[in-house]
Structure 1
Amino acid sequence: MRPNDWHLTEDIDDFLAQAGDFLRSRPALHTMPLTVTEKLRALGPAGSGNPAPVFGWLEQSGEVRATFYRFPGRGLSVTSLTPEQADTLAVRLVSLRHALPSVSADHTTATAFAEAWQRHTGATPTLRFRLHLHRLGTLTPPEPAPPGRGRLVDDRDHEHLIRWCREFAADVGETVTIDAASWANTRFAEKSYTFWETPDGTPVSMAGVNPMVAGQIRVDPVYTPAHLRGRGYAGAVTVEVTRAALAAGATDVVLFSDAANPTSNALYRRIGYVPIADWAGYDFTLTESEDS
């Protein structure tokens, strides 16, 4: 094995043995790979019902400098890279006949990799989304809070929860089937959820959180039906799950927001979330090469 190179594996335990300390060294910025690998580790081999993902880590001078993961037929998710590192990764994946539909990463990395992928494959990158990654600074609950209270979602709410997750996915442009049959294999299933209810017990907003990994918890999703927006419910339920995350011992509470949505970005900043990185996703024109 060449020490200064990208190393690939489908073995989650092997990957975490090599790259786990690197991922835990920056838990807020590495929220996505930490969450994904913890879910796969907990489920065990084939437990997710999906084909095994490919993991990779870049070793330079005896240290891990970057990682990636991708599921067959899906895009690449990668930690921060220099342009040179992005180029070497593109070269390596091309040599292994990976046909990537997309890449997501911090904006600088995603752009560098998209340009490298275009150079080496001829595929045309198209910017699909821009996000802000926020980390909690000092929690500042809104005053006054809207009337009502937070309540943990339980089994009686399952149909309601599935419907709202489906509506959220449609709002953010995710192409995914979310119903009772598919629920367990969606990215929404492993989360815990809280509803904000009006005083008469009517749910008006929800927030989910991922399980804590390396001291970080990610708030996702936050959703209020369109006809109920503008009343402070999203802020109230986000504060509710944030308080619970801190009470559970989280040292980093993070969330993503749509960079093009000034309302949600202003809301998160008002309640104490601070932007720490810009995120981006590029789609690629598919090539004729065979996906691995």
Structure 2
Amino acid sequence: MSWHFTTDLRAFLDAAGPHLAAEPARNTAVLTTMEGAELLGWWTGPDGTTATGVLVAAPLADLTFGVVPVEAAAALVLPAGAAPATLRGERAAVEAYLAASGLPWEPVMDIRLFRLDALTPRDPAPAGRARPARAADLPLLGPWTADFAVVHRYAPQDDYTDFLTERITEDRLHVWEAPDGRPVAMAARSRTVEGQSRVHLVYTAPAERGHGYAAGVTAAISRAAAASGATEVVLFTDLANSTSNALYQRLGYRPVSDHLGVRFTEGAA
């Protein structure tokens, strides 16, 4: 039993493809970040060939576990130069790595993965309608995305134009318009990979909260994900946010697994 590492996506998929395909929802974070990753890894079981765990580093200092057995997490030793600054993944695997490595750390996020069962949109629907985002929305969506990053404790970027334009061009970002035509909320979805698509970037402008707009736009983007061919539509929520957890469950999302995100503190490298 051992870890194997590569920077070659094709080699990674050849080795770990069946494992990724067997659990696409639980492997969503790896599936949606593996393209262009700086390091890809897989754990082989007793037969020495069958992958039973996966990880991705994108960028190199930000490590993410997919489905990883506890014993594999505890045995993880990264290649030279790949010391992590952050780690996220299913709680049991992250805790096993933390205990085995002895690295000092602090919690960053306590989140839960949900998977859509049967979509149950809000009834009555919120006022307004959903529509695909357009390039003309960028001056509004950029600040919204920056605020989203701060609230969810992601490292902020100076400019989200490319990030948002990619999603707009691929019809993966929707906004909710109030009855007067003003965009008041947004939600995005990942590309569909191995039959899964992840809803993310759910945000309502602060002055517009409390009207159900997040529910409306989340239902719309969930439909779009399913229409794209996704058989598993998933999303993450902050466990500290009881409002969003309740909202997604009302829409038909059901818990899959709890995840922990940590930042390694001084001396971790």
TM-score computed with the length of structure 2 as normaliser: 0.91
Following superposition, the deviation at residue 189 of structure 1 comes to 5.4
Q: Is the 8 A contact 1:190 1:211 kept in 2?
A: no
Q: Is the 8 A contact 1:99 1:286 kept in 2?
A: no
Following superposition, the deviation at residue 170 of structure 1 comes to 1.5
Correspondence 1:149 to 2:146? no
* Contiguous gaps of at least 5 residues in structure 1: 41-51
Q: Is the 8 A contact 1:190 1:210 kept in 2?
A: no
- Whichever residue aligns with residue 246 of structure 1, its letter is A
Q: Counterparts in 2 of 1:49-198, with a 5 A limit?
A: 53-60=38-45, 61=47, 62-71=49-58, 73-89=60-76, 92-93=77-78, 96=80, 98-118=82-102, 123-179=103-159, 183-184=161-162, 186=163, 190-191=166-167, 192-198=172-178
TM-score computed with the length of structure 1 as normaliser: 0.85
2:28 is matched with which residue?
31
Provide the rounded CA distance (Å) in 2 between the counterparts of 1:178 and 1:88: 37
1:278 is matched with which residue?
258
Residues 194 and 288 (structure 1 numbering): CA distance in 2 closer, same or farther, change over 3 Å? closer
Following superposition, the deviation at residue 15 of structure 1 comes to 1.1
Query: What SS does the corresponding residue of 1:214 show, helix, strand or coil?
Result: coil
* Contiguous gaps of at least 5 residues in structure 2: none
Query: What SS does the corresponding residue of 1:36 show, helix, strand or coil?
Result: coil
Moved more, 8-17 or 266-275: 8-17
Percentage identity across aligned positions? 37
Residues 73 and 243 (structure 1 numbering): CA distance in 2 closer, same or farther, change over 3 Å? closer
RMSD between aligned alpha carbons? 1.8
Moved more, 70-79 or 274-283: 70-79
Provide the rounded CA distance (Å) in 2 between the counterparts of 1:26 and 1:274: 16
2:200 is matched with which residue?
220
- Whichever residue aligns with residue 93 of structure 2, its letter is T
- Whichever residue aligns with residue 41 of structure 2, its letter is G
Q: Is the 8 A contact 1:114 1:282 kept in 2?
A: no
Correspondence 1:8 to 2:10? no
Q: Is the 8 A contact 1:131 1:280 kept in 2?
A: yes
Query: What SS does the corresponding residue of 2:157 show, helix, strand or coil?
Result: coil
1:19 to 6, 11, 16: 16
Q: Counterparts in 2 of 1:247-262, with a 5 A limit?
A: 247-262=227-242
Count of residues paired in the alignment:
263
Following superposition, the deviation at residue 132 of structure 1 comes to 0.8
Provide the rounded CA distance (Å) in 1 between the counterparts of 2:58 and 2:133: 30
- Whichever residue aligns with residue 257 of structure 1, its letter is T
Provide the rounded CA distance (Å) in 1 between the counterparts of 2:98 and 2:179: 49
Provide the rounded CA distance (Å) in 2 between the counterparts of 1:243 and 1:231: 20
Residues 97 and 178 (structure 1 numbering): CA distance in 2 closer, same or farther, change over 3 Å? closer
Query: What SS does the corresponding residue of 2:55 show, helix, strand or coil?
Result: strand
Following superposition, the deviation at residue 97 of structure 1 comes to 5.1
- Whichever residue aligns with residue 38 of structure 2, its letter is P
Query: What SS does the corresponding residue of 1:211 show, helix, strand or coil?
Result: coil
- Whichever residue aligns with residue 247 of structure 2, its letter is L
Following superposition, the deviation at residue 32 of structure 1 comes to 0.9
